[in-house]
Amino acid sequence: MPALITYRTPVQEDWVDYNGHLRDAFYLLIFSYATDALMERIGLDADSRGQSGHSLFTLEAHINYLHEVKLGTEVWVQTQIIGIDRKRAHIYHSLHRNDVEEALAASEQMLLHVDLAGPSSTPFSARTLQALDQIIEQQRDLPTPEHVGRTLRLPNAKTKQ
Amino acid sequence: MPALITYRTPVQEDWVDYNGHLRDAFYLLIFSYATDALMERIGLDADSRGQSGHSLFTLEAHINYLHEVKLGTEVWVQTQIIGIDRKRAHIYHSLHRNDVEEALAASEQMLLHVDLAGPSSTPFSARTLQALDQIIEQQRDLPTPEHVGRTLRLPNAKTKQ
């Protein structure tokens, strides 16, 4: 199975800079909407109808910008679950468009399962765990993506480092 | 000298989720505005009056979310230059508010100096380099921040990793 498609959108006018290119923060907004969609899929709906009382908070994210994206371009997000423990999920989003094989951007993220009543971290429910396990099983044959486990470094930097 | 303050803003209505908390992507938008302000300071103005023909593109970013931030909260960004080479700058933004000593979030970023006519990467101009060196000199005694050189990892994760 290919990576799960979690979100599709054209690049909106509010998201581009004066040159008509998607601003860095709005790549992450698209990934944030993809995380919302993933939450719905695993029983963590945030809307008033489906309120589960639980949510995922982003603890940490790493993003690689690989290509510029212009106003109006139709893009989609593919999502892969890299690993989970009792209450955390390590996930990977990549941004794509037609006619470009390589990803436009990639972001790995660490998400924490939270009981909103605290808010405090809490183990995944049986229902959520089952949904996560199902995705992991479907993605078992996908290779580990390229932009996972990255560290920012500037070799031969001038200054004290 | 303390870290340079590059941007101040109250948390806007458009930036919060249904719970009134700053959404993950909008922390990065605040840092993005701080990068714009840093660009102005080093002679890379993006507006029509000061157009230099050069800009900084974000290649890569890592962000740590440390505290929730509510609608209306006054926040500011402090910026530290970790290192530079001929055409890249490794910088560190942290987000702060009154009455909380610890940072609310931190993001290290790798920025590339670009000639917009290409667009293609190009060495910093003498003027920009001088401005960068001045900031580096002023920040010489600041310690390396806590959230630099981080790698996302989930020890004992279930699944193939």
Query: How many residues can be counted in chain A?
Result: 161
At A161, the pLDDT band (50, 70, 90 cuts) reads very low
Distance separating alpha carbons of residues B129 and B160, to the nearest angstrom: 46
In this structure, what DSSP letter does residue B151 have?
Answer: -
Compare A91 and A160 and report the one with higher pLDDT. A91
- Residues of B within 8 A of A63 (CB-CB) are 60-63
How far apart are the CA of A55 and the nearest CA of chain B, in angstroms? Answer: 11
- Kindly state the average pLDDT of the residues B50-68: 91
The amino acid occupying position A38 is L
pTM attached to this predicted model: 0.94
DSSP string, A44-89: ---STTT--SEEEEEEEEEEEE-S--BTT-EEEEEEEEEEE-SSEE
> Domain locations in chain A?
4-138
Residue A30, pLDDT score: 98
Distance separating alpha carbons of residues B24 and A25, to the nearest angstrom: 10
Is B128 a residue whose pLDDT tops 50? yes
Select the residue of B32, B88, B157 nearest A84 (Cβ to Cβ): B157
**What is the fold, at CATH topology level, of the domain defined by A4-138?**
Thiol Ester Dehydrase; Chain A (3.10.129)
How far apart are the CA of B58 and the nearest CA of chain A, in angstroms? Answer: 7
Q: Is the dihedral of CA B146, A113, A31, B15 positive or negative?
A: negative
At B161, the pLDDT band (50, 70, 90 cuts) reads very low
How far apart are the CA of B98 and the nearest CA of chain A, in angstroms? Answer: 22
Select the residue of A82, A88, A157 nearest B85 (Cβ to Cβ): A157
- Kindly state the average pLDDT of the residues A36-60: 83
Distance separating alpha carbons of residues B71 and A36, to the nearest angstrom: 20
At B47, the pLDDT band (50, 70, 90 cuts) reads low
Looking at the predicted complex, does its ipTM rise above 0.85? Answer: yes
Asked if A159 lies within 8 A of B18 by C-beta distance, the reply is no
- Closest residue in A to B60 (Cα) is A64
Asked if A152 lies within 8 A of B109 by C-beta distance, the reply is yes
- Kindly state the average pLDDT of the residues B48-57: 76
Residue A117, pLDDT score: 86
